[in-house]
Structure 1
Amino acid sequence: MKEEGAEETHVLAFPIPSQGHINPLLQFCKRLASRGLKVTLAPTIFITKSAHIEVNNVRVEGISDGFDEGGMDAIKSPEVYFERFKVVGSESLAELIERQQSSGYPFKCLIYDSHMPWALEVGKRFGLSTASFFTQSCATDAIYYNVKKGLLSTPVQGPTVSLPGLPVLETHDLPSFVYYWGSYPIFRDSVLNQFQNVEQADYVLINTFDKLEDEVLKWMSNIYPIKTIGPSVPSIYLDKRVEDDKDYGLSLFESRKETYMDWLNMREAGSVIYVSFGSLSELGEEQMEEIALGLISSNHYFLWVVRKSEENKLPKSLAEDKSEKGLVVAWCSQLEVLAHKAVGCFLTHCGWNSTIESVSLGVPMIAMPQWTDQTMNAKFLVDVWEIGVRVELDEKGIIRRKEIEKCVKEIMEGDRGEKIKRNAFRWKVLAKEAIDEGGSSDKNIDEFVASLLCA
């Protein structure tokens, strides 16, 4: 897989300091390293000091965000954090590039998270090729593009929205920052500013694959030099061509693998509901209790990930349940769980990483979106890819236990569930084909590498 001259080409990758943003970019770095390129990942200094890091062939070098001792959690104001990160991060990123210039292997290309458009300016200042890395779906990116360019008026009027390359969307299918226009302005501005200067980037990389988002990719490719490079998940679960690539290799959370894997190993194939709402979503106590009671009454085994910061919301009903149907853990290797034969479906918040991991492993989903892009992902997995069902909220915005139980049984027991399982398997095959040798994403990665070697 290594190309001649690749070892002299050094790439710098710069992620947002969040687990969901680091994972896909680090995974792409491994793909580049497997082709012989030198690759450096530059998370924040706090991440390098606090995360569990086990990465081969990718050098990790921390840069400062201005909060080296506490990171993003050190300050309660996202506005203050990101403004400080822009100022200090620009300086620290420039210093790293300058230090590397005096070595024998200067950086040739900067791949930066699309949420940090200011990084492009740093890269251009040093004459580097630049690539904007989008960690969300192309469909979601298209919505933000249309809003940023004034092609979709906000606040959104009317019950439905029709945009090029996308199915007809109800307003509640739109990303929450667009549908609820006044919510989280700092994050709304961040997703819109991905398109602030992206036309100046030499490449636009998206963690998706062609057949998954065919129509919207064709439309967006007429505007930007897009290359799909996904699914960006460890190679062992797809093509198995990257040596020893069994996990992402950098985790902000700690798990006890033997506990949940031993438990899963005792369950029959397809008998377990895996439940996780990601690294950021927060649920209220009432919603946590409804989920617990719905899972218990479904009479199926369940493995539920509840972060330590959320443990105090767990209901007494879960502790009092004597059926031994459920296991609650603080964190786990999600890919390893999804790949386990015992897992029959995934109750998920529909973050893009979770969605594309589940697609890649052929696991049907119960969609319970919370905010940001998750509503768009839920729309696609239910109505476009037909690999899941979506819960319905009551008048208080709560998903009740009966609704949880109904959705679980629909996938685990019903006729519709069998169709969903067949569709999920089909998408698993297509995901593997995309990244396998000669697949669409594999070719795009080869073209990206070749262009760096020629530059």
Structure 2
Amino acid sequence: MEQAIVERSTSRAHVVVLPFPAQGHINPAVQLAKCFTSKGLKVTVATTLSVSKSLETEGGGSLAFEPFSDGCEEDGVAKVLGIERYLERFELYGSKNLCALIEKYNGTEYPVKCLVYDSGITWALHLAKRLSLLGASFFTQTCAVTAIYHHVYHKRLSVPIQGSTVSLPGFPILERRDLPSFVNDVESYPFIFHNIVLNQFSNVNDADFIFFNTFDKLEEGVVDWVAKQWPNKVLTIGPSTPSIYQGKQDDSDKDYGLNVFAQDSSTCMNWLNTKENESVVYVSYGSVADMKKEQMEELAWGLRRSGYNFLWVVRATDQSKLPDKLVEEIAGKGLIVTWCPQLEVLAHRSVGGFLTHCGWNSTLEALALGVPMVAMPQWTDQMTNAKFVQDVWKVGIRTTGNDNGVVGREEIERCVVEVMEGERRVEIKKSLAQWNALAKEAVNEGGSSDKNIEAFAARLL
């Protein structure tokens, strides 16, 4: 990657956007940065050197991308010995080098005025205040998940969870399985729970702005509650998906622009082109979730039993978990790839359903593109997202696992068939159309999310 791509702007207000160095956090941060440029701000996206080596940049437009060292160039993020070690390095080296990146703009016509940082990078706010900048925390998950964590942080919700259900303001009644895994299963994630989940609230009260990748009507009751916790600071700015999928005819913004895993997409797209309309189930579990071998096998045979065509993204590191002779069994009906352009796939005429882990980016993309979901969450915020997908937004069906948490092939078959055909599909498509219209209303000119970004820009200009 070039050391910097600097383009002039009509504005002297300069914002640095700092995403956490993982694809699921990078995507919404870059999309938010594009929104800032549309309001006349100059924006630099700061990416770590260790991540920038594997990034392919497309459609960045007027954005500037600058890499900085997180102290992991030799090891690479994936090779660092655990999340704890990486976060220590990230703060130690990242804070120093990001500071140098920001300070180099002092004395130029574009001094930095604001640092927008992922909510988990709490040291970034300390840095912003030390440099006399405005600081904006960006929560890339839902308001609902943030609210649950906030209740735990302030000890209004005790962990380990007691009882079978939880009642929180602005929420439907939640079963234990509807709670994020970091809350429902604290003992399995002690470091993440204390040092990331709870720590993101340690200094957030000092932030000047608090952004959420959602829109007001999607989580109305919860957004209202969250806004009361931080008066005059909370701004919903989503959904942060490329504008061409939000009803804007902008061919230059049809992808996020930064892809860690980008590869040749011709195989999957050519295969989709041979299939009938809405006849394919797209299956993807994101870039992080680690599915056990038993679950991979049940998923494979469940898809096979459904009778539908399916396109399944399986990371190279997980290929060994697939059943023997599966490729021969699914010849003509299924295609397994290590990567595909998800937005293009979801927008393809042949795709009729999305079997998803319910990561927030994937959920928003399915909403934006009107694709019914089979929700099969694995961990973190996905459980809560799946609850809302089925019971609140009514845009999909959630699978149910056995006592060991494994979703069997019969259950997978049942849910796929239900989503792909019959009355339930008709109901889901109607709900999707309604939410899709509200999402477009929020992000287009004069909508709630658009106004919030406009207000932020006005504060800086």
1:154 aligns with 2:162: no
Using the size of structure 2 for normalisation, the TM-score is 0.95
Distance in 2 separating the partners of 1:222 and 1:147: 17
Deviation at 1:311?
1.3
Verify the 8 A CA contact 1:235 1:242 in the aligned structure 2. yes
RMSD: 1.3
- Counterparts of 1:173-188 in structure 2, within 5 Å, are 173-188=178-193
- Give the secondary-structure state (helix, strand or coil) at the position aligned to 1:43: strand
Match of 2:339 among 328, 331, 337: 331
Match of 1:30 among 34, 43, 49: 34
Distance in 1 separating the partners of 2:262 and 2:134: 36
Hey, what does 2:298 align to over in structure 1?
290
Give 5+ residue unaligned stretches, structure 2.
Answer: 1-8
Distance in 2 separating the partners of 1:324 and 1:284: 26
1:409 aligns with 2:417: yes
- Counterparts of 1:269-284 in structure 2, within 5 Å, are 269-284=277-292
> What letter corresponds to residue 36 of structure 1 in structure 2?
G
Verify the 8 A CA contact 1:6 1:35 in the aligned structure 2. no
Using the size of structure 1 for normalisation, the TM-score is 0.96
1:194 aligns with 2:200: yes
- Give the secondary-structure state (helix, strand or coil) at the position aligned to 1:101: coil
Percent of aligned positions that are identical: 53
Distance in 2 separating the partners of 1:46 and 1:450: 34
Deviation at 1:35?
2.2
> What letter corresponds to residue 194 of structure 1 in structure 2?
Q
- Give the secondary-structure state (helix, strand or coil) at the position aligned to 1:346: strand
- Give the secondary-structure state (helix, strand or coil) at the position aligned to 2:126: helix
Distance in 2 separating the partners of 1:201 and 1:322: 52
- Counterparts of 1:128-147 in structure 2, within 5 Å, are 128-147=133-152
What are the superposed Cα offsets for residues 253-276 of structure 1, whole Å, 9 maximum, x if unpaired?
Answer: 022211111111221221110000
Distance in 2 separating the partners of 1:424 and 1:411: 13
Hey, what does 2:46 align to over in structure 1?
42
Match of 2:455 among 438, 441, 447: 447
1:85 aligns with 2:66: no
Distance in 2 separating the partners of 1:214 and 1:370: 26
Match of 2:317 among 297, 301, 309: 309
The count of aligned residue pairs is 449
Give 5+ residue unaligned stretches, structure 1.
Answer: none
Distance in 2 separating the partners of 1:346 and 1:390: 12
Deviation at 1:67?
0.4
Deviation at 1:204?
0.3
> What letter corresponds to residue 296 of structure 1 in structure 2?
R
Deviation larger for 381-390 or 233-242? 233-242
Distance in 2 separating the partners of 1:415 and 1:241: 33
Deviation larger for 195-204 or 70-79? 70-79
Distance in 2 separating the partners of 1:21 and 1:410: 32
- Give the secondary-structure state (helix, strand or coil) at the position aligned to 2:278: coil
Distance in 1 separating the partners of 2:293 and 2:225: 42
Distance in 2 separating the partners of 1:286 and 1:355: 25
Distance in 2 separating the partners of 1:328 and 1:32: 38
1:389 aligns with 2:393: no
What are the superposed Cα offsets for residues 92-129 of structure 1, whole Å, 9 maximum, x if unpaired?
Answer: 11111111113321101100000011100101111111
- Counterparts of 1:5-154 in structure 2, within 5 Å, are 7-54=11-58, 55-154=60-159
Hey, what does 2:359 align to over in structure 1?
351
Distance in 2 separating the partners of 1:59 and 1:16: 17
Deviation at 1:322?
5.0
Structure 1 consecutive aligned stretches of length 4 or more whose deviation exceeds 4 Å: none
Deviation at 1:243?
5.8
Hey, what does 2:223 align to over in structure 1?
217
Distance in 2 separating the partners of 1:231 and 1:314: 34
Deviation at 1:340?
1.1
Verify the 8 A CA contact 1:65 1:71 in the aligned structure 2. no
> What letter corresponds to residue 47 of structure 2 in structure 1?
P
Verify the 8 A CA contact 1:350 1:377 in the aligned structure 2. yes
Deviation larger for 251-260 or 5-14? 5-14
Distance in 1 separating the partners of 2:46 and 2:162: 42
Verify the 8 A CA contact 2:213 2:236 in the aligned structure 1. yes
Deviation at 1:392?
1.1
What are the superposed Cα offsets for residues 60-84 of structure 1, whole Å, 9 maximum, x if unpaired?
Answer: 1112111023332121221111012
Verify the 8 A CA contact 1:239 1:435 in the aligned structure 2. no
